[in-house]
Structure 1
Amino acid sequence: MPSNKLLQLAHDLMFSLVHGNGLVYNTCWEDPRLDRELLGLKPDSRVVVITSAGDNALDYLLDTPASVDCVDVNHRQNALLELKRALFTQADFETLFAFFGDGGGEGCAAAYQELREHLPQYAAAFWDRNVGYFKPGGLARSFYYRGASGALAWIFARFLSVFKPGLRLGIQHLLAATTMEEQRELFARLEPVMWGPFSRWLVGSTSIMALMGVPRPQAALIKAKHPGGMEGFIRDKVRRVFTELPVADNYFWRVYCHGRYTRECCPEYLKQANFEPIRTRLASLRVHTNTPSGFLHANPGPYTHFVLLDHQDWMAWHAPKVLSEEWRLILASATPGAKVLLRSAGLDASFVPSEARARLRFFPELTEPLHDRDRVGTYGSQHLAEVL
């Protein structure tokens, strides 16, 4: 078997093992500020969203939609959202922030025992085994260095601590910058030091891409669409995030660099002013362990909004028939004028099947300017479609 075929199989196997056997995402890696601006949720909105870590679904509740159905085939992701829900309903803001703002603390294990009975059985079973994720100390030090994506952040943080302490200190200064001029000056000094043999290994490794949640088709798409390949893509994205956007509210990068949020720089669901509004609206949030197609087949709607993240990149390569069926069910379950929000590693929406595109109107005039304001900065494109 050719060596490149073996590498492809190894990547696919690693991705399947990572995603089928553990928590992958410990925080959402999509900017909900952009989502909420594009979606325009209203009191009669009925939203279907892929759960991921559940952060953005909680943020959507601030716009008072009628319902938010969170769907994920990985029950561990849903268990994470259910723990957050239980902290809202059974604990107080300080306890919630200890878990998911600080990434853990001495009182988290005891607090978990008090709210455990309010979790669904599958979620309680998961957290019974893994509540240690929130135990302070040890090598990981934080919940945000747990799970697949957290493990990658931990590897990078440890590398900086041991081999490049000066770069680690420089990144801390960069995250503390107060002006764009200061950010650009600091980044210009740091960028040459960032990219060496280790960082090139990180972005070229099959195992590391799997930990990041990047399936082989997405990696191939990036390499094909970007002139600098994977390394050039990531370099350009990191440069844009740190030289074109203020870091003061960029909690996405801060949490993986520091292992925790601050009260000022965190997701909306972790802000004290939003605790009661979200708590009072949690009855409209439902959680389902299923594929999007399986969920829509069992719960045909109608729905006004679909937030599909980037999972269709993978489906377009590996399961085009499944992708077509998913779109058939989306369109059958959508109200006229329903909005569909997607992200992609590629630069366009060519992954959407032609039969679905015939029923959709896209709005690049809205998404392209907003994409430039994306605080995450790691996607190739973002797309908003309206069902005709």
Structure 2
Amino acid sequence: MAGPMRNTKIVEAVTQSGTTTRQGLLDRAFAFAFKGLVYAQIWEDPVVDMEALQIQPDSRIITIASGGCNVLSYLVANPAQIIAVDLNTAHVALGRLKIAAALHLPDHAHFHRFFAEADSRQNIRDYQRFIRPHLDETSRRYWEGRDIAGRRRIGGFSSGVYKRGLLGGFIGTAHLLARLYKIDLKRMLGAQSLDEQRAIFEQHLAPVFDKKFVRWLTDQPPALFGLGIPRAQFDALAGDEKMADVLRKRLEKLACDFEIRENYFAWQAFGRGYGKGPDKPLPPYLQAQHYDAVHARVDRVSFEHANFVERLQAIEDSSLDRYILLDAQDWMNDQQLTTLWTEITRTARPGARVLFRTAAEPSLLPGRIPDDLLARWDYRAEESLGFTARDRSSIYGGVHLYVLK
């Protein structure tokens, strides 16, 4: 779990070119950026996930951890086990912090203040009293260490943790850039209807993407590292379009397709945190009506520092039935995809479900893995289109569901 080993694993995961090529250098730069906290909040919609996965009481789930929000939210569906793996040790530490908090904070009010508000000095006192004694040494050392700016990492929960991390910094930079063009992105949070949301988007937000500097900036792959987008995914996302036009479409969906009062992803993008007050939207694991279920079931979750494929290789045949890959396959070459799906197929029970997202719209599997391997799986194309449309995070081109025949 040491830094150099962690960085090496991430380099191996994202590098598809020689390190002396421009593409290879970009991959290594992304790996360097990705080695710290990236996502304080995951950007895949857990409500869509649970609809697609149809989690049952005997479901054994393996997923990429990311910010851990969805991992804990899946507990609402009452699965038997969740194995959450991640190459990023900061994400593992965040997940383990959430487990300890769910188990040992006194009640939902404390849990809500710690993760939904995340801006109170009382959270640091609660960490010391209730959480710290139950953290493993590696996670405790992470949270009590300092980030690149010299700040204690646990201090983020007293000053707005969702403003930290690579994504938090990216959103903050977007707000700064908007202010330079005399635009207040928080204006969107006051909209009272979808019509008002669209009016704000078309009048204030859309024109920014026509600015020469913005069009130039968004065509530079490092500019999107803050979204967790490596060079290979950047190419898939852009396709034949200018990146500014792609980002405008994704922001339009986020701003215009879902009621602000129901979309916590929009609050993160436009407000840099969850909204204050009992009526503001939250991920399932933070909602008061789910607290008892999360508290009672969180011991079914494990967060592990591991490569997804290597973790699968240590699992027995026909023993898992739900797989969540996030957008990790966008980073992979054909050989890596084949190895992944060989292990998924080996470990999958009949009827197993695999859910993943892609930067571009279509599924990336046809023509990339062997036909006989892909033929073992049923692609739910029509359902996938519906999941894509309903995903409130709005940043992905496609949400895809495969079911083992």
Relative to the length of structure 1, the TM-score reads 0.90
Alpha carbons 2:376, 2:404 under 8 Å: kept: yes
Q: Which moved more, 1:363-372 or 1:240-249?
A: 240-249
Distance in 1 separating the partners of 2:139 and 2:70? 19
Partner of 2:93: 79
The reply on whether 1:217 has 2:236 as its aligned counterpart is no
- In 2, Cα distance between equivalents of 1:344 and 1:39: 17
Q: 1:200 aligns with which of 207, 211, 215?
A: 215
1:102 lines up with 2:85 in the alignment: no
**Residue number in structure 1 paired with 2:245:** 232
Which residue matches 1:126? 142
CA contact (8 A) 1:150 1:256 kept: no
2:169–2:226: 8 Å Cα contact kept in structure 1? yes
Residue of structure 1 in register with 2:7 after alignment: none
Q: Secondary structure at the match of 1:135?
A: helix
Equivalenced residues, count: 369
How far is the alpha carbon of 1:211 from its aligned partner?
A: 2.0
Sequence identity (%) = 28
The equivalent of 2:290 in structure 1 is 274
Q: Is the 8 A contact 1:167 1:194 kept in 2?
A: no
Following TM superposition, by how much is the alpha carbon of 1:250 offset from its aligned partner in structure 2, in angstroms?
1.3
- Aligned-pair distance for 1:7? 4.1
Question: Corresponding residue for 2:30?
Answer: 15
The Cα offsets for residues 32-82 of structure 1, whole Å up to 9 and x where unpaired, read as 111111111111111111100010111110010111111111121011011
Q: Report SS of the residue matched to 1:248.
A: helix
8 A Cα contact 1:48 1:68, kept in partner: yes
Distance 2:48 2:63 in 1: 15
Residues 321 and 191 from structure 1, CA distance in 2 versus in 1: closer, same or farther, beyond 3 angstroms?
A: same
Asked if structure 1 preserves the Cα contact closer than 8 Å seen for 2:168 and 2:272, the reply is no
Greater shift in the superposed pair: 195-204 or 307-316? 195-204
Query: 2:208 and 2:309 mapped to 1: Cα distance?
Result: 42
Kept in 1, the 8 Å contact 2:63–2:323? The answer is: yes
| Correspondence for 1:360 | 377
Matching of residues 52-201 of structure 1 within 5 Å: 52-91=66-105, 92-114=107-129, 115-129=131-145, 130-136=153-159, 142-161=160-179, 163-164=180-181, 166-168=182-184, 171-195=185-209, 196-201=211-216
What is the root-mean-square deviation in Å for CA atoms of aligned residues?
A: 1.8
* Structure 1 gap segments, 5+ residues each: 137-141
Q: Give, in angstroms, the shift of residue 198 of structure 1.
A: 4.7
Q: Relative to structure 1, is the Cα distance of residues 366 and 176 closer, same or farther in structure 2, using a 3 angstrom cutoff?
A: same
Q: Which piece of structure 1 moves more, 35-44 or 291-300?
A: 291-300
Give the CA deviation at 1:259.
2.5
Q: Please state how far the C-alpha of 1:192 moved relative to its aligned partner.
A: 4.2
**How far 1:268 moved relative to its partner?**
1.2
**8 Å CA contact 2:219, 2:242 repeated in 1:** no
Decide whether the 8 Å contact of 1:361 with 1:385 is kept in 2.
yes
Alpha-carbon distance in structure 1 between the residues aligned to 2:206 and 2:336: 44
Letter in 2 for 1:96: F
Match of 2:391 in 1: 374
User: Unpaired segments of 5 or more residues in structure 2?
Assistant: 1-19, 146-152
